[in-house]
């Protein structure tokens, strides 16, 4: 449970910005947690805007929707820089699926926070091969608050930090649901990778 350092804006306090990152594997509850924080900000009568990359149209063009069907209205953007203009006048900016933006998202989030906006970024910290994903590692470095959430491993029931791709595609970006990905813990992820490609796992074990 994340308790906001400051939910409302008291008139006697100067406006302060900061960055929160919510990261983890697929199905770990990132979007759920993002929606929860944004709804609380709305209750505090904050002006809230939510952005997502235009390429993520899995469930709905305009809504951010979690796997348990929670949703919140959002604005799809092609480039991270668009957020700077569109977010003027906001107290709180939410960004979902942040891993799909390029590195410029780090500068965009920093600028928003510097001008007094609370920025909440949710995204996959690792891709389906277990490598850090897009701008997420740098965002985690510059954020004031980082929350790593976990899914449940579908193989053994332990906490899962990996998104295992069951579909055959090797594209870095493959939008999908439970038909394409499974949440897995480290041993079950490695087991699956070994079955897929024994050589790649031997090489990864050396690092």
The catalytic residues are: 97
Beta strand ranges found along 116-166 (DSSP E): 118-124, 145-148, 151-152, 159-160, 162-165
Please, which of residues 138-197 interact with ligand ADP by CB under 6 A?
151-152, 154, 183
Which listed option, ligand ADP, Mg ion, none, makes contact with residue 23 (CB within 5 to 8 Å by class)?
none
Which listed option, ligand ADP, Mg ion, none, makes contact with residue 154 (CB within 5 to 8 Å by class)?
ligand ADP
- Show the binding pattern over residues 111-140: x = contacts ligand ADP (CB under 6 A), - = does not: ------------------------------
Q: Which CB sits closer to ligand ADP, 30 or 165? A: 30
> Per the structure block, which two tokens stand in for 108?
């965009």
Which listed option, Mg ion, ligand ADP, none, makes contact with residue 201 (CB within 5 to 8 Å by class)?
none
Look up residue 25 and give its DSSP letter: S
Cα-Cα-Cα-Cα dihedral sign, residues 31, 37, 40, 42 = negative
Spatial CA neighbour of 22 closest among 63, 55, 66, 57: 66
26 among annotated binding-site residues: yes
Contact between 49 and 94 under an 8 Å Cβ cutoff? The reply is: yes
Q: Which CB sits closer to ligand ADP, 19 or 151? A: 151
Does position 31 bind Mg ion by CB under 5 A? yes
Please, which of residues 3-32 interact with ligand ADP by CB under 6 A?
24, 26-32
The SS3 assignment for 188 reads helix
Residue 30 beta carbon to Mg ion: minimum distance, rounded to whole angstroms: 5
Q: How far apart are CA 89 and CA 95, in angstroms?
A: 16
The SS3 assignment for 195 reads helix
Q: Which CB sits closer to ligand ADP, 13 or 69? A: 69
Q: Which CB sits closer to ligand ADP, 20 or 91? A: 20
Q: Packing angle between helix 186-196 and helix 198-206, nearest 10 degrees?
A: 130
173 among annotated binding-site residues: yes
Residue 70 beta carbon to ligand ADP: minimum distance, rounded to whole angstroms: 7
Q: How far apart are CA 77 and CA 80, in angstroms?
A: 7
What is the binding site for ligand ADP (CB under 6 A)?
24, 26-32, 66-68, 151-152, 154, 183
């Amino acid at each position: 449970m994340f308790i906001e350092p400051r939910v409302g804006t008291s008139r006697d306090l100067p406006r302060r910005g900061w960055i929160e990152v919510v990261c983890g594997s697929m199905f770990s509850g990132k979007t759920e947690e993002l929606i929860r924080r944004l709804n609380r900000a709305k209750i505090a009568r904050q002006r809230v805007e939510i952005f997502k990359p235009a390429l993520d149209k899995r469930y709905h063009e305009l809504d951010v929707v979690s796997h348990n069907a929670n949703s919140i209205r959002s604005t799809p953007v092609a480039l991270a820089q668009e957020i700077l203009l569109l977010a003027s006048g906001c107290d709180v900016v939410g960004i979902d699926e942040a891993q799909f933006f390029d590195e410029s998202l780090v500068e965009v989030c920093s600028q928003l926070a510097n001008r007094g906006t609370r920025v909440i970024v949710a995204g996959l910290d690792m891709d389906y091969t277990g490598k850090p994903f897009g701008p997420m590692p740098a965002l985690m470095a510059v954020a004031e608050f980082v929350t790593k959430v976990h899914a449940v491993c579908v193989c053994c029931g332990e906490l899962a930090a990996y998104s295992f791709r069951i579909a055959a595609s090797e594209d870095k970006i493959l939008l999908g649901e439970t038909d394409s990905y499974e949440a897995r813990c480290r041993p079950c992820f490695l087991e699956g990778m070994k079955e897929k490609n024994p050589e790649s796992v031997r090489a990864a074990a050396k690092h």
